[in-house]
Amino acid sequence: MIDHVRLRLHGEAKRALLALSVATLWVVAGEVDAQPTDEAVLAPSRAEQRTRPSADESPVRESELDVWYLPGADGQLRRVIDLSYEELLELLQDADGRGRKPEYSLKRLEADAKYLEGRVEIDLRIEMGVSQRQWVEIPLRVPHTVALSQPSYEGDGEAIFVRNRSRELDAWVRGSPESSHVVHLRLSKQVVEAGDRRRLTLVLPRALQSQLALDFGEVIRDLEVSDGVTIEATDAAAPRSAMLRAVGGVVDIRWRRNDERVVEERPALDVDGKQLIVVGDRRIRVDADLTVSARRRPFDTFVVTLPAGFSWLSRGMPGCRVARLSDAGDEDASKQRLRVTLDEPTSNSFHLRLEAERTYEVDPHGTQVPLAGFQVADAVTQGGHVAIVVEAERRVAIAAPRHVWQVDTLPANLDREGVDFGFEYYKQPFELDINISPPLASVSVKPSYAIEVSPREATLRGTLKYVVSGSNVDSFAVDLADWQLDPKLGVVVNEIRRADARQDAKGRLVIPVPVGAKGEVLVELTARRSLAPQAGQIRLPVPVPLEVLPSVASLRLVPAENVRLTPRRDKLVGLSSLRSSPGDAEVEGKGRQLLFTAEGDAAVFVGEVEVMSRSIAVELESELDLRQGTLVQSLAYDIAFESADRLRLQVPHEHLRNGPLGVFLDGRPVEVSAAAGRDAEGEPVLLEVRLPSARLGRAQLEIRSSLLDVMSVIAGPDSEKRVEVPLVKPLDGKVTRNELRLVRDAGLDIQMASDNWREIEDPSAAGGASSILRFDAKPTMDRVPLIVRMIERSARTPILVRRGWIWMWLGSDARRARATFVVRSRDREVRLGLPAQAEVNSAIVYVDGQEVAAEPERAAGAATTSLVVALPEKATDEFTLDLQYTLSATTGGLSGSLGLPGFDESVVVEDLAYVELMLPGREQVISTPRGLTAAWDWEWDRFGWTRVPHMTERELARWSGSHWQDAEFLPQLTSLERLADRGQVARYLFTTMSVGGSHDFTFVSRGMATLLGAGLVLVLGLAFLYVSPLRRPAALLTVAVLLLAAGYAFPDLAIVLARTTALGITLVALAALLQQLFKSPLTPQPTYPEPMGSSARLPSTQFHQGPANQGDASHGDANQGDSNQGDASPGMSSQRTTVSAPQMSVLPSQPEPASSKS
């Protein structure tokens, strides 16, 4: 008999026991159905009750268990009707996910692959089935493959192909479960090759049947596949293809090419070269430094090819032997080849230094010499740098570089003084030829010109930097073409004006220079030419220095501010355009510059000239504040083509009648003056704003005025008023934008009285007591017509908190809080907000010292409760509210959120509110929460730093006018003050500019603070004792700076930890003492005299025995010292030698007393 069964199992165990229970009940019911069954577990059905046998009937019959009652998870009985054990077990398996059909099946996979050079192309056909008509995700895998075409689908459904995060291909298929679905893929996969070895790795889906036909394209050998894959080769003797079965998952296929030739595997060499080429007088010398390293195997020999025409200078090289090779048949006979044989094979880098040289003949037309070389045969990578130094008086030009580029930075061993060219090559063979020519005339020049283009004239300012070397020169010549030398400015040579410079009829300018001038000579010249702007096109030739080395000149064209200069690039001669830098794009008072480089003797600039008149665009933004009665207008000027020195304004007379007009230019006040011919009374006034300097570009003008007339109309008794606000109107330029920003009080309804102003959305507008409206209008609108209506204020007025004091005690046995607020409110009802930790039933409220009833109120979904307090009627609207309540939440540990009482309405704090926190002495606050400011000072009190709040409890009670200063709370404050003085209570005082809200405090116990502070000192002290690098000045300075920075960032935490460092200092001192006590003492060593009269010292492993006539050695060091003193020659001091193993130290002995004897 089963009396009572309680099943409290979960998961699979519960389901298994449930099935076992049903089977057991089935058997028990069939065999002992006469016994009663507990109704809490198994209740018989009515059919059973009707068919129970009577006393006269036979007790043996077939059981009829049609209905079962089994307890559910909630303890209620549930019916199980006419189920067999197998059916119930199947239901349990379906509930667990077992026994369900899979969502898809992969029936067959067929793949045809063909090996091409370095890759395999695969045609993949996958046949699959689904078990439902919904979308089914089928992973096809095949990662790290490239799709050669779009995947295709065959079937009565549809498919979508995507790559997942693992870069594998997934197929989403939706179709009929009765039919098959086929997917075709055409892919490409990289084959890993190393020598004659090939390796292909595929990741394929696992299908019931799968095969892969692989065509290698050539005869292979040593075919290997991963475990589980079957190989069926078509030709075992010379296989060119193979059929692989059971290819699913990761398939690894390896084979080798059937190459009958035996190829010796050579080491793969990498070469880094550094070549220093010195061009001398008829001779070129190369110093090459090659660093050769191998990748796969050690190497012991390699071949180096020298540049054409260079001969190796035989030098002995440690670690190798260098020998010349005979000329090969197909090799360039002009290039020497050297075989380098190492003394022993190496896998590391080998440094080889070679020197070579060649001669060259000086040709007036130039001699071309190839410099590229030092190529290592069969090297995989070869790169490096080349530095060229020209020591002789020669002109060297680079010709036909290939696989090489010029660089400014060279490696350290090539970056030397006097390097003229630097190159970097990235492969061998590269080409680098130089053309060597004899020096020409000894005058070179670097010219630069600036041409200022105005509407009627062009001014040329040229700077020519001559370099004179060799023979003396007495003059320079410049072809000015159509330019005329300025008679006033003329020519300046080395900052001295040369009045003797002359220009002939053909434009040739001859500039005399001092006799014997050498080195750098700076020539500055100024020339002009008139322009004809009506033609629309100008032609400006570039001056050419004569009888100098060819050079490239820089040309800069600077159009005037009202000139637009457009180059005719199809007509430019000898000019190459350059992109100007951002800083040189535009110059104050000038237009956009054009930069060119001039090459050749006939460079000419041709361009279109357009003279522009002054253009001024104005963007007008006005802000009308109806709360304060002010109007601020911002005028953003954009002055183009011609600068302006004054701006004119039309100011309505209302602006001048209501007070002084404020005008500001770029944020600074500026003076204004009335224009000539002021209009009659009541008419707008014309004002001129004189700019400090002529302005081109942006200028920001701001005009501030008062609108007392408008405000007096709005404040009138009428409920609806119509007012018109005039605007300042700019008279210069064109207004492109006219916007108005209207700030109104919440009690005003503003509408525009004209359709010319259109309201637009202002994303920066904020709601509340006032709102912002934004309008725009046509540029010509200079008046704002408004319709103003007064509306009732249904919202409650904000509460003004004049003073506030919140006091909280967080003890271990009791936690309570009190608050005092001195408020001003026009309403006769306020809502005090309690924090979430407050117990509402314990709250008591006093108004002006009288206890009042407070109704708790909680908004739907709110986490906090409010107390609705009715304020009494009195002459003033200032009240003193006192609140007390207890806290239910436990505050402590390392952190905690603490809520403060406040108001569930709009609040304005007039003065600071104080928050006082009282904690047991063992608890400390180590950080000031955000929104609160610490109101205490740290002062030294005999034994350490002490926190001294700015105000005591009594002072706070009197300052706030609290009801508690005359109640039973005052003795408690006095008691807490005494406990705080003794250190049994920790008192923290904060200030805040808001009331209410929640603040996150970080608390720590005194024991934890002591552990942290002492532990930090102990760790630093032990590190100082046992880590010698930390005792260096730099390390100590770093630690000190880090500690000071941490203390500055967290001052409160730093002082708390500093107060607990005494224990750590004591432990560090004890560790230092133990280190000295247990330090191993030095073992005393025997001493022996050193023989006098010789400067030779004994080796550290030899001992010296004194003479026999000086007595026994056991007499001590004194006798030995006397003996040495007696034998010493005059002027020589006695010494003793201390011998120890394994080394000997020589120490000077003490002088002997005068009474000693030999």
Tell me if 1110 sits within 8 A of 1088, measured CB to CB: no
Angle between helices 1006-1026 and 1062-1077 (to 10 degrees): 30
Q: Which tokens is 654 given? A: 């209302």
CA distance 744 to 765: 11
Mind listing the pLDDT tens digit for each residue in 996-1032? 777 777 777 766 767 777 777 788 877 777 777 777 7
CATH topology of domain 269-437: Immunoglobulin-like (2.60.40)
According to DSSP, the residues that pair with 807 across neighbouring strands are 818, 916
Between 114 and 1001, name the one with better pLDDT.
114
Strand arrangement, sheet containing 367-370:
367-370, 431-437, 395-402
Q: Residue 36 pLDDT > 50, yes or no?
A: no
Q: Which residues have C-beta within 8 Å of that of residue 764, sequence separation ≥ 6?
A: 772
Indicate the CATH number of 615-790 among 1.10.3710, 2.40.50, 2.60.40, 3.30.70: 2.60.40
pLDDT band at residue 273 under the 50/70/90 scheme = very high
Name which of 905, 919, 911, 676 is nearest 805 in CA terms.
911
Q: Hey, which bits of 391-430 come out as E strands?
A: 395-402, 404-406, 421-425
Contact 890, 897 (CB under 8 A): no
Q: What are the pLDDT digits (tens) for 580-613?
A: 544 444 444 455 788 999 887 788 998 888 887 7
Tens-place pLDDT, residues 355-384 = 999 999 877 678 888 988 898 988 888 999
Is residue 154 within 8 A of residue 184, CB to CB? The reply is yes
pLDDT at 1151: 41
pLDDT at 764 > cutoff 60: no
Q: According to the model, what pLDDT value does residue 109 have? A: 92
Nearest to 935 by CA among 919, 946, 949, 925: 949
Provide the CB-side half-sphere exposure for 1147 (13 A, CA): 11
CATH 3.30.70.360 corresponds to the domain 104-257: no
Please give the mean pLDDT across all residues of the chain: 75
Which of 4-13, 362-371, 415-424 is predicted least confidently? 4-13
pLDDT, tens digit, 9 for 90 and up, residues 245-259: 888 889 999 988 876
Contacts of 956 (CB under 8 A, 6+ apart): 805, 807, 914, 916, 962
Return the CATH fold of 799-1003.
Immunoglobulin-like (2.60.40)
Convert the pLDDT of each residue in 1145-1157 to its tens digit. 333 434 444 433 3
775 and 804 Cβ atoms separated by less than 8 Å: no
pLDDT band, very low/low/confident/very high, at 50 (cuts 50, 70, 90): very low
Distance spanning both ends of the chain, measured CA to CA: 121
DSSP conformational letter for 1060: T
Q: Which H helix or E strand runs over 1017? A: helix 1006-1026
Q: What is the distance between the alpha carbons of residues 331 and 308, in angstroms, rounded to a whole number?
A: 11
pTM score, two decimals?
A: 0.31
Q: What is the CA radius of gyration of the chain?
A: 51
Mean pLDDT of 623-631: 76
Q: In this predicted model, what pLDDT tens digit does every residue of 818-832 receive, in sequence order?
A: 899 888 887 778 888
Superfamily of domain 443-611: tricorn interacting facor f3 domain (2.60.40.1730)
What pLDDT score does 1134 carry?
37
Task: Please report where in the chains the tokens 């009240």 appear, as a residue.
Answer: 879
Instruction: Enumerate residues 6+ apart whose C-beta is below 8 A from 799.
Output: 823, 824, 825, 830, 903, 905, 906, 907, 908
3-state helix/strand/coil string of 869-936: EECCCCCCCEEEEEEEEEECCCCCCCCEEEECCEECCCEEECCCEEEEEEEECCEEEEECCCCCEECE
Question: In one letter, which amino acid is 97?
Answer: G
Considering the chain, tell me which residue range(s) the CATH 2.60.40.1730 domain(s) occupy. Answer: 104-257, 443-611
| pLDDT tens, position by position, 850-863 | 888 888 887 655 66
pLDDT in tens, 719-745: 677 878 888 888 888 888 888 888 776
Task: Write out pLDDT tens, residues 939-998.
Answer: 777 666 777 888 887 788 888 878 765 555 666 666 666 666 666 778 888 888 778 777
Contact 883, 835 (CB under 8 A): no
Distances in Å between the alpha carbon of 565 and those of 125, 542, 561, 610, 633? 68, 17, 10, 7, 37
Residue 1029 DSSP one-character state: G
At 615 the pLDDT is: 81
